[in-house]
Every structure is written in C-alpha cells, then in structure tokens.
C-alpha cells in the first residue's frame, strides 16, 4: 500500500504542469501489487498486437458539473475512456473495445474489477479508471491497467488536471497502458505543428497550425495571408520555428506560442529556410542561400552570430541532430542528386551515408538515435528508414509522393505528408516502423509539413 502510494506520488511528480502537491486518493485495489518481474519489455509485437483490451467508461464518485467536455463528470468519464480507446486503437497495435461497446462499471469496481465477467468477454487486458471533480474545479483522473487472465493489477497512475486539459489525463492513461504492454516509451501526450492547406494548386493558402497528437485542440496560428512552411516545435513547446513569406521573401521566424510574438532568426537579407531545433532547444539550424549557393548554418535560438557549418558549392540543406546533439544528418547534392550526409555538430567529418539508388532527402534522426527517416525518391517518393551508417534501409510507404518524415517522441511511428497526383491535395499520414500500420490523420483541411514534438512533461 505504501509502496503503491509512492508509485503514484512519483507519477505525480513527473507532471509538474499539474498540481503536484495535491494527493491523489485512488481507491485501493484488491488485486495483488504488480509483479516486479513483469516490467521487462515485449520486443516482438506479434505477441501483443492482437491483445484484447477492454476500456469501459470511467465512472465518477459523484456526477457533478464540470467545464470539461460533457458537462458532467459522468459524461466526461465516458469521453476520457473514448480518448484512451482511440489512442490505443489508432496506433494499429491494439484492437481495443471502447466504452461505446461495453457495459458501464460502477465506481467501486474500478479498484476491484469483476475479472470473471471480463474473462467471459475474452478480454485479456482491462483498462479502468475514474473521474472526480475537485473543489477548485480541477479534475482527478485515475487510470488502472489489469491483466484479466492473471487477475492482477499491472499499473496505475493518477492525474490532476485543469478541466480544459482533461484530454491530457486520457493521453497519459493511454501512454501508461501502451508503455506497460509494449515496453516502448510513451508518445500520446504530445503535440504536432503542421501546415494547413486550402485553395487551388497554383494559389495554395498555407497556414501554420497546431494540434494534439490525436488531432484534438486544433488551432490555426497564422491567418494564411503569408505563405507559411516547414514548422518545428521547440523541445519545450514554447516556440515554433517556421518559414514565412511575411514580407514577400522567405525568412525563418521564431513564433512564441505564449505571447504570439515572432522574431526573425537572423537579420540577414538573404533567404533563410529549412529551420530545425537542436535537441536542447538552444540552437537553430537553418539553410541560407547566398548568391544562389545554399549552406547550413547554426544560430543561438535567442539570436546572435551564426556559424556556417557547410561550404560545398552544391545545395546543402535541412539537417537533423542526433538525440545527443553530437551529430547532424543533412542532405546535399554535392555529388549530383540529393543524398544524405552525416557530420559532427561543428560541421567537421562530413560523410555521405546514402547509397540506395535514387535520391534521398529530408533526413530526420529518430529520438531513439537508432534510425534516420528520410524521403526516398526513386520513381515514387517513399518514406524510408536507415541506420545512421546507411545500413539496413527499408521503405515504410509506397505512394506517388510521400515526403518529409517526422518521428513520434518514442521513435516508433513516422508521420509524413502525402500529395495526390494531379490535384495536389495533401494529407498528413503516419506509419509505424513495421510499415504495416498506415493511416491518415483527420485534419480540418489539407495538411503538410508535420512536425511531432516530444512527450509533454
């Protein structure tokens, strides 16, 4: 009991944005504490991808009014379970049953599941939880994962959130379930910056927009009067670096999400584009064309002098840091067509790594460090991955034009955009590293240039 409470306290401490000081009263589970031996990772997806997971609505101790979606804590409990259900369903690895397919559970059952009933429904895993309204208007959401066959609790967490951030509690719950069952790091509680597209092909209106990883909380940042391209969230989500034709010419701006102010990343009169953050958020890589020759530069995110990292007469563009910040993968056409190169972070030791046939562009280093995703142009434009030495190249997609991969925070899923031949219509898609689970994200209008940020603290 004490141990479990500490586990919960640790979970709270990892969410400083929430009310960390507040104790979370999670009902005692009658099940045995999780076996320490169950913490190992599941490496073979086939062992768990077809797991039957039941996610009934999260009951409330007392249904009261809340500002969160649904209006009451009872309605909210169903919405929370739906978000958890959709998160787990949409990554393609689980086949869950959600609150709209399952009977309701009573509040006391959250911590004391009716295992026999769930066994009868062929559920192997059970996700239960509850929603409580606090006097200050905040919400406490509890999340429990049970192994039905074993009749035991595998994990639990509690979250205290503001009413308008209730979806974050649901994403944290889905992250807990995903991590516990897959052995992978979480990724649902994260956000995406992208470019929303409307209008005809020759006069495309392109707006900077943001949304949660599941497409919720969508918001347009720019109004579309100036073409916006290639956004990247800063690692702490406080800023977005992107390209805008605001004053007629392409320039990189740093947009402050909190204040709505934006600044030029450099005062150069030359065009700047293809901005990228360093993993610690202290530097921005950008590409700049001087008299037609494009090279890669680094500048402190707060401004100051730029350092030129490449000096080939060809086009050197883009760039993506390894997670430890020691290396940069970028693209260059110095040998003819676009190919991938790796260099040290100071620009030294530039070496080509792509010898796959065709051209290779827009490399993005995985947050895990083990893979580089890129656009492979060989007939079709495909999303592909390779290791950092150019070995083990694999295509994850095969469509007419898939472009610009961005990694999920845990390095298991790659998001990209797909352009339709002829119409030029675009959409944001994602695919997992097996290449088998591909799906289109729902966005209000067409979308391109996705950039996935890290898991929220």
Got the DSSP string for 50-70? Answer: T--EE-----BSS--B-SSTT
| Binding piece for another protein, criterion CB under 8 A, among 63-71, 128-136, 173-181, 266-274 | 266-274
Tell the burial category of 261 from Cβ atoms under 10 Å away from its Cβ (0-12, 13-18, 19+).
Answer: exposed
Candidate list 16, 37, 135, 248; residue touching another protein; CB under 8 A: 248
Got the DSSP string for 155-190? Answer: EEEEEEE-GGGHHHHHHHHHHHHHHHHH-SPP-SS-
Candidate list 24, 353, 372, 404; residue touching another protein; CB under 8 A: 404
Q: Does 410 bind another protein (CB under 8 A)?
A: no
# chain residues binding another protein, by CB under 8 A: 44
Least distance from another protein to the Cβ atom of residue 255, Å: 19
Here's the x/- map for another protein, 39-78, by CB under 8 A: it reads as: ----------------------------------------
Residue ranges in 329-358 that form contacts with another protein under rule CB under 8 A: 331, 333, 337-338
Q: Does 365 bind another protein (CB under 8 A)?
A: no
| Binding piece for another protein, criterion CB under 8 A, among 35-43, 126-134, 174-182, 197-205 | 197-205
Q: Does 202 bind another protein (CB under 8 A)?
A: yes
Tell the burial category of 457 from Cβ atoms under 10 Å away from its Cβ (0-12, 13-18, 19+).
Answer: exposed
| Binding piece for another protein, criterion CB under 8 A, among 62-70, 147-155, 254-262, 289-297 | 289-297
Strand duo 191-198 + 446-452: pairing: antiparallel
Choice between 86 and 406, CB closer to another protein: 406
Least distance from another protein to the Cβ atom of residue 428, Å: 14
Candidate list 249, 263, 326, 378; residue touching another protein; CB under 8 A: 249
Q: Does 204 bind another protein (CB under 8 A)?
A: yes
What's the rounded Cα separation, in Å, for the pair 325 and 125?
Answer: 39
Count of alpha carbons within 13 Å of 212, Cβ hemisphere only? 16
Contact 343, 328 (CB under 8 A): yes
Choice between 190 and 426, CB closer to another protein: 426
What's the rounded Cα separation, in Å, for the pair 46 and 396?
Answer: 18
Candidate list 25, 62, 136, 201; residue touching another protein; CB under 8 A: 201
Residue ranges in 215-244 that form contacts with another protein under rule CB under 8 A: 227, 229-230, 243
Reported residue count of the chain is 457
Q: Does 294 bind another protein (CB under 8 A)?
A: yes
Contact 154, 38 (CB under 8 A): yes
Least distance from another protein to the Cβ atom of residue 404, Å: 7
Candidate list 291, 305, 348, 357; residue touching another protein; CB under 8 A: 291
Least distance from another protein to the Cβ atom of residue 362, Å: 5
Candidate list 96, 250, 390, 427; residue touching another protein; CB under 8 A: 250
List b or e across 59-68, with b for residues whose CB sees 16 or more CB atoms inside 10 angstroms. bbbebeebeb
Least distance from another protein to the Cβ atom of residue 85, Å: 35
SS3 110: helix
Least distance from another protein to the Cβ atom of residue 243, Å: 8
Contact 442, 215 (CB under 8 A): yes
Choice between 2 and 291, CB closer to another protein: 291
Choice between 190 and 230, CB closer to another protein: 230
Angstrom CA distances, 444 to 12, 88, 199, stand at 34, 22, 13
Least distance from another protein to the Cβ atom of residue 204, Å: 7
Q: Does 193 bind another protein (CB under 8 A)?
A: no
SS3 12: helix
**CB-based contacts of 443, cutoff 8 Å, min separation 6:** 194, 196, 209, 211, 215, 218, 427, 428
Residue ranges in 74-133 that form contacts with another protein under rule CB under 8 A: none
Dig out the tokens for 424 from the structure: 């030029």
Count of alpha carbons within 13 Å of 346, Cβ hemisphere only? 1
Candidate list 299, 441, 449, 452; residue touching another protein; CB under 8 A: 449
Nearest to 406 by CA among 434, 371, 354: 371
Q: Does 446 bind another protein (CB under 8 A)?
A: no
List b or e across 219-239, with b for residues whose CB sees 16 or more CB atoms inside 10 angstroms. eebbebebbbbbbbbbeebeb
What's the rounded Cα separation, in Å, for the pair 29 and 33?
Answer: 8
Candidate list 75, 104, 216, 289; residue touching another protein; CB under 8 A: 289
Kindly list the residues in this chain that would bind another protein in the complex (CB under 8 A).
200-204, 206, 227, 229-230, 243, 248-250, 271, 273-274, 287, 289, 291-294, 315, 317-318, 331, 333, 337-338, 361-362, 375, 377, 381, 400-401, 403-404, 419, 421-422, 424, 448-449
């Amino acid at each position: 009991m004490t141990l479990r409470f500490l586990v919960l306290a640790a979970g709270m401490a990892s969410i400083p944005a929430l009310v960390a000081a507040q104790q979370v009263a999670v009902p005692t589970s009658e099940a045995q504490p999780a076996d320490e031996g169950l913490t190992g990772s599941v490496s073979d997806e086939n062992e768990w991808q077809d797991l039957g997971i039941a996610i009934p609505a999260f009951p409330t101790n007392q249904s009261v009014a809340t500002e969160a979606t649904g209006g009451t804590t009872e309605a909210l409990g169903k919405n929370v379970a739906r978000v958890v259900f959709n998160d787990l369903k949409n990554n393609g690895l689980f086949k869950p049953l959600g609150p709209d397919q399952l009977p309701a559970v009573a509040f006391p059952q959250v911590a004391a599941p009716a295992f026999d009933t769930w066994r009868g429904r062929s559920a192997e895993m059970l996700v239960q939880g509850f929603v409580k309204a606090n006097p200050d208007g905040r919400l406490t959401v509890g999340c429990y994962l049970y192994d039905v066959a074993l009749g035991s609790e595998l994990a639990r967490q509690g979250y205290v959130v503001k009413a308008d951030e209730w979806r974050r509690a649901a994403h944290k719950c889905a992250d807990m379930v995903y991590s516990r069952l897959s052995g992978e790091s979480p990724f649902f509680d994260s956000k995406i910056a992208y470019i929303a597209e409307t209008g005809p092909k020759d006069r495309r209106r392109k707006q900077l927009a943001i949304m949660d990883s599941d497409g919720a909380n969508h918001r347009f940042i720019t109004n579309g009067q100036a073409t916006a391209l290639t956004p990247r969230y800063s690692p702490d989500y406080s800023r977005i670096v992107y390209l805008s034709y605001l004053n007629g010419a392409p320039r990189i701006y740093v947009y402050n999400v909190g204040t709505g102010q934006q600044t030029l990343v450099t005062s150069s009169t030359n065009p700047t584009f293809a901005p990228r953050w360093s993993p610690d958020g202290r530097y921005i890589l950008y590409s700049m064309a001087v008299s037609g020759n494009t090279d890669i530069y680094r500048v402190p995110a707060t401004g100051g002098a730029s350092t030129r990292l490449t000096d080939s007469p060809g086009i050197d563009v883009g760039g993506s840091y390894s997670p430890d910040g020691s290396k940069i993968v970028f693209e260059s056409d110095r040998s003819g067509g676009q190919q991938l190169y790796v260099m040290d972070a100071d620009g030294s030791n530039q070496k080509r790594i792509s010898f796959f046939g065709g051209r290779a562009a827009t490399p993005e280093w995985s947050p895990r460090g083990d893979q580089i995703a890129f656009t492979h142009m060989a007939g079709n434009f495909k999303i592909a991955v390779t290791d950092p030495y150019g070995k083990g190249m694999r295509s994850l997609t095969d469509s007419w034009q898939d472009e610009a991969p961005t990694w999920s925070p845990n390095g298991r899923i790659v998001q990209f955009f797909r352009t339709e031949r002829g119409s030029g219509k675009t959409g944001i898609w994602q695919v997992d590293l097996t290449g088998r689970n591909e799906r289109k994200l729902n966005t209000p209008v067409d979308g391109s240039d996705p950039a996935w940020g890290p898991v929220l603290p």
